[in-house]
Chains A and B, each alone.
Chain A
Amino acid sequence: MKLLASLLLCLFVSVAWAAEGDTPKLDIGKGGQCVRDPQWMRKNHMHLLVHQRDETVRKGNRIEQDGLKNCVECHASLSDNSVIARDDSFCVGCHRYAAVKIDCFECHASKRRTALVMKDGK
């Protein structure tokens, strides 16, 4: 019985340690929750984005909240206003960890809109 308990303990500790050590540390910008809870978003944000992109492009049905612009607005880093500029930027951090290529920002703006407006004004 004792043996089993110690085995289990080892297992849990190692799993917890691995999880702690490996998960990417992200610069979440302003953060906060506006669409769904974080765990749901981690798993499903791509489906929301693809759905919303087709609604927007094809039907002109722009729901600000679900759009990419809105994601960037909150999650761009507070220091450089970008979601892809550094290794720990909000989008790049996780996508690199999961080895999923992200090509949204070859066309879409990766910087916070308010930062760009200020730049234009100058």
Chain B
Amino acid sequence: MSDLNTQRRQFLKTSLGAAAVAIAPGMLLFDTAHGKAEAGSSKVRWGMLIDTAQCQDGCNDCVTACNKENGLSGGTSATDSQWIRKIDLKDIRSGRALSLPMMCQHCEEPPCVDVCPTAASFKRADGIVLVDRHRCIGCRYCMMACPYKARSFVHEPLQDQKPDVPRGKGTVESCTLCVHRLDKGQQTTACAEACKNKAILFGNLNDENSEIAQKIRSVASVQVRADLQLNPGIRYQGL
């Protein structure tokens, strides 16, 4: 009887081993073939540090670059899409004036995602907040929920969209942090690239050695409406 048991045990062990040997390379190949993308990895958190001291009053280069990259019309009326806008601030008492770009702040706890009834608004693993236009029904709850007024609604039919940036009537859209560039392995956005004064620093907040993480450690920066505790990925220096 005990001999039978030993044999049985031996058989089970051998077959388990054989199964492991047979399956393991397949699993490895599966991972390789399906390219466990660096793109959507939660090891990365994309963010920006905007130095308001370097941002020039009257300069619109980041906005123009964004419009060109994403095929936006460039209009500024209430029904035009604006993914990034320039804002001028002035403290009435001291007279200190500031100019800064404002766009989707890519919150860690995005209110737009909370309110979306169809789960079209979502946050990618790497912290980018996007609209899945295939699911968006155009209800615009997210636009109401966003404390930064960062989102736009497409009111008119569009033609000649960029192949990398599909956009269409009846859906909400906002800054994508140039996600089509990042997925291709590029490390910069159109606005950061276009800024002459290097006021926009783009990078991976989770990587200790990245330029942006080092700078955030060394200089004082704030998040807009930090009191809401949304932990935006965009930070402002000198605000």
Binding site for B on A (CB under 8 A): 53, 57-63, 69, 72, 106-109, 111, 113, 116
In the complex, the chain B residue whose C-beta lies closest to that of A119 is B160
24 cross-chain CB contacts under 8 A: A57-B132, A57-B134, A58-B40, A58-B124, A59-B40, A59-B125, A60-B37, A60-B179, A60-B183, A61-B34, A61-B37, A61-B39, A62-B39, A62-B183, A69-B163, A106-B168, A107-B158, A107-B171, A109-B160, A109-B161, A111-B163, A113-B163, A116-B160, A116-B163
Q: Please report which residues of chain B, range 150-197, place their CB below 8 angstroms from some CB of chain A when the two chains form the complex.
A: 157-158, 160-164, 166-169, 171, 179, 182-184
B130 touches A57 (CB 8 A): yes
B40 touches A60 (CB 8 A): yes
Q: Within the complex, what minimum Cβ distance (angstroms) separates B122 from chain A?
A: 7
Chain A's closest residue to B162 (CB) is: A109
Distance (whole angstroms) from the CB of B96 to the closest CB of chain A:
40
Q: A106-B157, A109-B160, A113-B163 are known contacts. Are A63 and B35 too (CB-CB below 8 A)?
A: yes
How many B residues touch the partner, as a band?
A: 20 to 34
Given A57-B130, A58-B124, A60-B39, residue A106 in contact with residue B169 (CB < 8 A): yes
A109: B residues at CB distance < 8 A: 160-163, 166
Q: Is the CB of B162 within 8 A of A116?
A: yes
List A contacts of B167 (CB < 8 A).
107
A79 CB to closest chain B CB, in angstroms?
A: 18
A57-B130, A106-B168, A107-B167 known; 14 other A-B pairs, CB under 8 Å? A57-B132, A58-B40, A58-B122, A59-B124, A60-B124, A61-B39, A62-B39, A69-B164, A107-B166, A108-B161, A108-B166, A109-B163, A111-B160, A116-B162
CA distance A69 to B124 in the complex (A): 22
User: Contacts A58-B124, A59-B124, A106-B157 hold; do A53 and B134 have CB atoms under 8 A apart?
Assistant: yes
B80 at the interface (CB under 8 A from A): no
Measured CA separation A22–B179 after assembly (Å): 44
B132 to chain A, nearest CB (A): 5
Tell yes or no: B133 within 8 A of A by CB. Answer: yes
B108 sits at the interface (CB 8 A): no
Q: How many whole Å from A72's CB to the nearest CB in chain B?
A: 8
Report A-chain residues with C-beta under 8 Å of the C-beta of B126: 60
A111 to B105, alpha carbons, bound, how many Å? 32
Give the distance to chain B from A84, nearest Cβ to Cβ, in Å: 11
Interface mask (B26-43 → A, CB under 8 Å = 1, otherwise 0):
000000001101011000
Interchain nearest-CB distance for B12 vs A (Å):
38
| Min CB gap B133→A, angstroms | 6
Residues of A within 8 A of B35 (CB): 61, 63
In the complex, what distance in Å separates the CA atom of A60 from the CA atom of B83? Answer: 20
Across the A-B interface, the 5 shortest Cβ-Cβ residue pairs:
A107-B168, A60-B39, A60-B40, A107-B166, A59-B40
- CA distance in complex: A60, B171 (Å): 20
In the bound complex, what is the Cα–Cα distance between A117 and B162 (angstroms)?
Answer: 9
Alpha-carbon gap, A38 to B64, bound state (A): 43
